[in-house]
Amino acid sequence: MTEFDPEQFEDKYANYFTELQRAYKNAFEVMNDEFDSELVHAIDQQILNESEPFYEDGEFRIELPESPHERLTAVIVDDEKLSAVLEEYREELRRQLRRVFGLEK
């Protein structure tokens, strides 16, 4: 496990690229086991591929690209379901980031 330094996370892709990849992969696998795999794959490829993780005030947050619902074209899903699955995916990403960096509560 890599020792986490919040200041180094500001340049996360230079300092923590491998850990970020692991967290995103772990979150994808968890979500793929729990939800429709086509929807999870579409969210991963069309929304989360442009997401940005941040660490602020002792917590991770996942910033989504603008208009995430409009980005999803690979599957047909109603907005309510997409919002619910996307929020669960973001929460799973936050859990995996905490786990990968040893910051679990």
- Whether 24 and 96 have beta carbons less than 8 Å apart is answered as yes
In this prediction, residue 74 carries a pLDDT of: 87
Task: Determine the number of helices (DSSP H) and then strands (DSSP E) in the chain.
Answer: 5, 2
For residue 88, give both structure tokens: 């669960």
In this prediction, residue 3 carries a pLDDT of: 81
75 class by beta-carbon count within 10 Å (0-12 exposed, 13-18 middle, 19+ buried): middle
Domain boundaries, the chain: 8-100
In this prediction, residue 2 carries a pLDDT of: 64
In this prediction, residue 60 carries a pLDDT of: 96
pLDDT at 102 over 80: yes
Question: Dihedral angle at the C-alpha atoms of 43, 64, 26, 104, nearest 10 degrees?
Answer: -150
- Per-residue pLDDT tens over the stretch 53-68: 999 999 999 999 999 9
The pTM for the full model equals 0.91
Q: How far apart are CA 90 and CA 48, in angstroms?
A: 9
pLDDT at 1 over 70: no
- Per-residue pLDDT tens over the stretch 26-83: 999 999 999 999 999 999 999 999 999 999 999 999 999 999 999 999 899 999 999 9
Tokens 């340049």, located at residue: 11
